[in-house]
Structure 1
Amino acid sequence: MPITLRQISKENYEAVCDLEVTTEQEDYVSTNMWSLVESHYNDGYETRAIYKEEQPVGFFMWVQESNTKVSIWRFMVDHNHQQQSVGRTALGLALTEIKSLANLAEIEICYSPSTPVAKGFYSSFGFIEIGMDEDNEDMLAIITL
């Protein structure tokens, strides 16, 4: 089951837009369609499709906030492919790609503190919680390089 990250193009964007999370997760994740629109009209946004063999099964979007900081804004795995280590493998691949950026000192991610597995999942990659965001809605966690 090879997992890869691929550029999103006119050949695969519709399949990426069709990916869905579970009903319970919908409040925590923006749609892929909205994320692709957002990335198209803003500088520094990077998007990747998560592939399982030759099928898109998930989505990433990160933003280069400055020369030294990248924030992972979107990360989802389609509900039909969750609980299969797809997300774990894909996050490892994304972090490897992000860490290759010159001058990078920090990678940030945020998540709902009410999500039961989020803290353990992200901390297993080295993310350390630093507190709630400015709206006091999401937990911020960082990897310092």
Structure 2
Amino acid sequence: MSTLYPSVLLVALGSAEEQAQCRTLRVRDEQSDFIATNAESLEQAADSPWCEPLGVRAVHTGEMVGFLMHALDPDENSRWIYRLMIDHRYQGRGYGRAALRALLEHLQKMPGGPGVALGVAPENTGARRLYACEGFVETGELIDGELIMRRLLA
């Protein structure tokens, strides 16, 4: 039996209205130590030509349910997922998995090497489980206290 996940659309955050909408999204209180705020992430993206911030919209409602950001690491020619967050009101409904899958599909079309990496807080077991189920493998590396996970895009 296959599990159905909601359809999501990744959207560029080009307008001030979309960015303001993104800034209102929040994770649950107990998750706030695991990820930077969306406002901080948007500031980081504005300062880096390598970062692409994207909103995650539910296809059936058009409502913004999450935020993600990725970047090309020119030194290692691979993509990094810097942020993946789903607003607390939409967690547990499959939006995180759907957003991750949509992002991986998006990254396959972009220049850069065949790999993608991310960092995750060791105590964020839910995220680690999600990433592992989607083919990411813990490498044993630690960067700024985060476990590094990698997978091939193909």
Q: Is the 8 A contact 2:57 2:64 kept in 1?
A: yes
Residue 91 of structure 2: aligned partner = 82
Residue 26 of structure 2: aligned partner = 20
Asked if 1:43 is matched to 2:43, the reply is: no
Q: CA deviation at 1:82?
A: 0.2
Instruction: Give the counterpart letter for 2:108 in structure 1.
Output: K
TM-score (norm 2): 0.87
Q: Is the 8 A contact 2:72 2:112 kept in 1?
A: no
Asked if 1:4 is matched to 2:9, the reply is: yes
Q: Distance in 2 between matches of 1:20 and 1:9?
A: 20
Instruction: Give the counterpart letter for 1:8 in structure 2.
Output: L
After TM superposition, list the pairs within 5 Å mapping 1:1-145 onto structure 2: 1-10=6-15, 11-52=17-58, 53-66=61-74, 68-135=77-144, 137-145=145-153
% identical aligned pairs: 25
Computed over aligned residues only, the root mean square deviation of the Cα atoms, in angstroms, reads 1.5
Q: Is the 8 A contact 2:11 2:56 kept in 1?
A: yes
Q: Deviations over 1:94-144 (max 9, x none)?
A: 011012123422100110111122222101111111013244x11100013
Q: Distance in 1 between matches of 2:42 and 2:111?
A: 25
Q: CA deviation at 1:2?
A: 3.2
Q: Distance in 1 between matches of 2:103 and 2:143?
A: 26
TM-score (norm 1): 0.92
Q: Distance in 2 between matches of 1:20 and 1:134?
A: 24
Instruction: Give the counterpart letter for 1:46 in structure 2.
Output: E
Give 4+ residue runs of structure 1 displaced > 6 Å after superposition: none
Q: Is the 8 A contact 2:79 2:112 kept in 1?
A: no
Structure 2 unaligned segments of length 5 or more: list them.
1-5
